[in-house]
């Protein structure tokens, strides 16, 4: 349409005429763009029947009802109370998403019919960093996906290999504790634990990927920078999901360029390892053994970092923040460690499973602040049904885990941090069964998180040692850590990074509880 307007100008226009014509073109272009969007909206297929949901507005859909941009999971939980456990939300005028907030329907999507709903739904920009969706997270179910997942879980993340890493994990933990002691000494007993924990996790993953001899601080720092950049770029990508023509905006095109530059930097960072001869129990060995193209190998390696580092470190710091708020719970956890393991300086990997209250604290943290409150975006792989209603192939599905974790019919005082709710024992009661079914921090079914077991183990291991080594308290008396969150990509991050005062417990085996 724009070209047609230009062609209609007189061939022999004066300079003034041309300036006026060009001004008219630029002035009318936004109007023409809006008309095109409206035409696309009203010409979209009216035959599809979507589940009920809040009334949408032209162009923006339901975006105005999602509240604060960082609290979509909370807004959708409140909307579900009005419109039901299955509702349609329009992200812009052209992108409908079915949101599931009911446990039975979530179970059907994630477990009972997981193959029907197992396809992925990501922004177009995702292809740049995933070798055109050739990673475990981004690829649809099939032979390639099964090969990748099996290779990771039975090899690098297999129980025997994780057990073989124990001495290295414990060495890293001693180093982490010492680093925090040094920071506290320099800074009036105040620490910012997040970055130290992230570095600890990058080292753990690097040994799993490249081998137990990995020791490269420069690589750790560089990888942390690239992970941060993924989150930053993802924010721009989400705009194009809501508004089709946003992909032509300078901000989005800039994000595409930066994603390509990020890809080049990651390739430069990882490529030197590809010419090595990695041990047979590493993820790199498996990837090389499949004769995958270099682009896929590097993308699969970077995926492991980008999915694990922020999610694990954030869960640990959420737990520490809650323990600062709830000193009685922190004391109870500390006393469990002392009574179960006696006077130990370091909680070992093999001891984590013995600490039942620790497991309850970890679970309650993940219930309150699920790592990915919307799980990972799903899409129907074929025409299917949901509770008997037809759902077309290609339909976007979002399971609101936050809503499931805060359902007052399942969880007593759902917005209160109560680890004891997970200490009721396996009595087979209806309440316990309902809680077990509704607790899905890692998803469920065929697309459950591949690194779930390692994640739970490492979160418990780090948290137990940080509570065993230090008393955690407010930086200023009575000024508790901020528990508000922000949703970056699909990970629920702390809006205000945790700062805390720590007191080494080497010579103090109990401390008074602040009420």
Residues contributing to the annotated binding site for heme: 449
The answer to whether 315 touches 373, Cβ cutoff 8 Å, is: no
> To the nearest 10°, the Cα dihedral for 331, 336, 341, 346?
-40
Residue indicated by tokens 């995958």: 292
Map residue 183 onto helix, strand or coil: helix
Residue indicated by tokens 């509770």: 387
135: closest CA among 278, 39, 266? 266
Residue indicated by tokens 């041990």: 279
The answer to whether 362 touches 353, Cβ cutoff 8 Å, is: no
Annotated binding site: 449
Please, which residues bridge with residue 89 across strands?
Answer: 97
Q: Look at strands 96-100 and 396-399 and give their pairing.
A: parallel
Please, which residues bridge with residue 88 across strands?
Answer: 98
In this structure, the chain runs to a length of: 515
169: closest CA among 465, 450, 451? 465
Q: Look at strands 389-391 and 384-386 and give their pairing.
A: antiparallel
Number of CB atoms found within 10 A of residue 424's CB: 12
Q: How many angstroms separate the Cα of 421 from the Cα of each of 326, 400, 418, 428?
A: 15, 21, 6, 14
State the distance between the two ends of the chain, measured CA to CA, in whole angstroms.
Answer: 69
The answer to whether 130 touches 136, Cβ cutoff 8 Å, is: no
Cβ partners under 8 Å of residue 246, min gap 6:
239, 240, 252
Q: Look at strands 396-399 and 485-488 and give their pairing.
A: unpaired
Residue indicated by tokens 């329907």: 105
Secondary-structure breakdown of the chain: helix, strand, coil percentages, each rounded to the nearest 5: 55, 10, 35
**Cα–Cα distance between 306 and 209 in angstroms, integer?**
13
Please, which residues bridge with residue 473 across strands?
Answer: 501
Backbone φ and ψ for 378, nearest 5 degrees, come out as: -110, 160
The answer to whether 240 touches 125, Cβ cutoff 8 Å, is: yes
């Amino acid at each position: 349409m724009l070209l047609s307007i230009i062609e209609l100008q007189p061939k022999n226009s004066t300079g003034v005429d041309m300036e006026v014509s060009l001004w008219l073109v630029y002035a009318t272009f936004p109007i023409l763009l809006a008309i095109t969007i409206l035409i696309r909206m009203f010409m979209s297929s009216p035959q599809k029947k979507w589940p009920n949901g809040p009334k949408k507005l032209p162009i923006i859909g339901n975006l105005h009802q999602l509240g604060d941009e960082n609290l979509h999971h909370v807004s959708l939980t409140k909307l579900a109370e009005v419109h039901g456990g299955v509702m349609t939300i329009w992200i812009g005028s052209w992108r409908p998403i079915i949101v599931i907030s009911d446990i039975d329907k979530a179970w059907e999507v994630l477990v009972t019919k997981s193959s029907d709903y197992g396809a992925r739904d990501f922004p177009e920009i995702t292809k740049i960093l995933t070798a055109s969706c050739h990673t475990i997270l981004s690829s649809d179910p099939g032979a390639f996906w099964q090969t990748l997942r099996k290779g990771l879980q039975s090899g690098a993340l297999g129980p025997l290999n994780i057990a073989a890493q124990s001495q290295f994990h414990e060495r890293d933990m001693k180093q982490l504790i010492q680093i925090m002691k040094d920071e506290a000494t320099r800074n009036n007993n105040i620490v910012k634990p997040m970055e130290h924990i992230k570095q600890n996790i990058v080292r753990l993953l690097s040994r799993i990927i490249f081998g137990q001899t990995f020791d490269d601080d420069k690589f750790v720092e560089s990888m942390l920078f690239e992970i941060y950049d993924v989150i930053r770029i993802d924010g721009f990508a989400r705009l194009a999901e809501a508004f089709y023509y946003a992909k032509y905006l300078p901000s989005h095109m800039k994000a595409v360029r930066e994603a390509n530059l990020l890809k080049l930097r990651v390739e430069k960072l990882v490529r030197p390892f590809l010419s090595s001869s990695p041990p047979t129990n590493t993820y790199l060995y498996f990837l090389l053994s499949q004769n995958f193209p270099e682009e896929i190998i590097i993308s699969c390696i970077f995926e492991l970092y980008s999915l694990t580092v922020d999610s694990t470190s954030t869960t640990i710091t959420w737990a520490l923040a809650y323990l600062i708020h709830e000193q009685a719970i922190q004391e109870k956890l500390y006393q469990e460690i002392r009574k179960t393991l006696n006077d130990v300086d370091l909680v070992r990997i093999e001891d984590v499973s013995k600490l039942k209250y620790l497991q309850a604290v970890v679970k309650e943290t993940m219930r309150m602040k699920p790592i990915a409150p919307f799980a990972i975006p799903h899409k129907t792989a074929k025409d299917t049904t949901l509770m008997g209603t037809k759902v077309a192939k290609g339909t976007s599905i979002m399971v609101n885990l936050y809503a499931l974790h805060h359902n007052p019919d399942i969880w007593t005082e759902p917005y209160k941090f109560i680890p004891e709710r997970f200490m009721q024992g396996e009595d087979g009661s209806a309440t316990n069964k309902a809680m077990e079914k509704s607790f899905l921090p890692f998803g469920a079914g065929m697309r459950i998180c591949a690194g779930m077991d390692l994640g739970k183990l490492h979160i418990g291991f780090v948290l137990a040692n940080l509570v065993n080594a230090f008393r955690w308290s407010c930086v200023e008396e009575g000024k508790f850590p901020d528990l508000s969150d922000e949703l970056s990509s699909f990970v629920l991050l702390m809006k205000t990074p945790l700062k805390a005062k720590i007191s080494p417990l080497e010579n103090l085996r109990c401390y008074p509880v602040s009420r």
